[in-house]
Amino acid sequence: MAAVRNGFLIFFKMAYRPSLCIVVVKTIFFLSAFFLSVQSIQTAAAQETGMERDVQTEQSYSPDMANLILITEQSRSSEIKLKNNALALIARLLAQNRKSPEMLDALEFLAFEGTVNKSRVNGRTINNYPSIRAKAATCLGDYGGEEAKKILVRMLKVEPDSMVLIPALYALSKIGVTEEDEIVLNDMMRRLDARYPDNLLAIAYLDTLEKHSEEQDGAVNLATRHSIFHISQGAYTKPVQKKARLLLEKLNSYRER
């Protein structure tokens, strides 16, 4: 303790000498300025790092990415309300001509909700949502392209509900029908006709074939002509029968050119 006390006395005696006092004061000011400068640099660096992190976070969750995550999660939800929300968001993005593989995946999942993608409780399907499948079909027509068309063609093969098949037909017509697609259309009509003839479905079928025939200068296969003739003579209302006969006459007119 005595040594420490003596050390302090020596320091104060030296500090109170005029020349040494000035040196001590200058040293203190210099050290204070130095530490303040270092602290400022560290603070600026921390702020810059924080800004970089904010930018990275913003880029990771851009509006497009956030929408796609939302669409994926809601489309696979068990609640029909959330599925409708996903379809509404997809329709809005398509209206802005914005497309992505994630949107197409969601549409494919929703297009088979309750037919291929089934959730069962005690053997009963609890996710049979025809309205969801119908909206998905319409969105697929707006999406366009070969992949969307493949999904629509698959829908025609497995879909049992005519109120889903009708928008699926118009969506397919919007993208374009091929000769191979005619076979699928005809098989669909035979399957539904055998169960219960549906006038609205027959009209959608005839409209789709008429548009297709116009694009092909009347070139449709023989099975298609037989299917149209069957509608003109089948258990349909007179306006539907007349529409089928007019389409046959139109197809025959192409041959005469």
Which three-class secondary structure state does DSSP give residue 164?
Answer: helix
In this structure, of 53-57, 121-125, 228-232, 250-254, the range with the lowest mean pLDDT score is 53-57
Q: What is the pLDDT of residues 52-74, one digit of tens each?
A: 444 444 444 456 899 999 999 99
pLDDT at 7 over 80: no
> What pLDDT sits at residue 10?
47
Task: Tell me how far apart the alpha carbons of residues 90 and 228 are, in angstroms, rounded to a whole number.
Answer: 35
pLDDT averaged over every residue in the chain: 83
Tell me if 190 sits within 8 A of 227, measured CB to CB.
yes
Q: Which amino acid is at 3?
A: A
In tens, the pLDDT along 165-217 reads 999 999 999 999 999 999 999 999 999 998 889 999 999 999 999 999 999 88
- Annotate 38-63 with three-state secondary structure: HHHHHHHHHHHHHHHHHHHHHHHCCH
Helices 145-158 and 179-195: crossing angle, nearest 10°? Answer: 30
Adjacent-strand bridge partners of 121: 124
CA 58/CA 122 separation, integer angstroms: 45
pLDDT of residue 47: 54
Which residues on adjacent β-strands are paired with residue 113? 117
Q: Distance between CA 177 and CA 211 in Å, rounded? A: 9
Of residues 163 and 14, the one with the higher pLDDT is 163
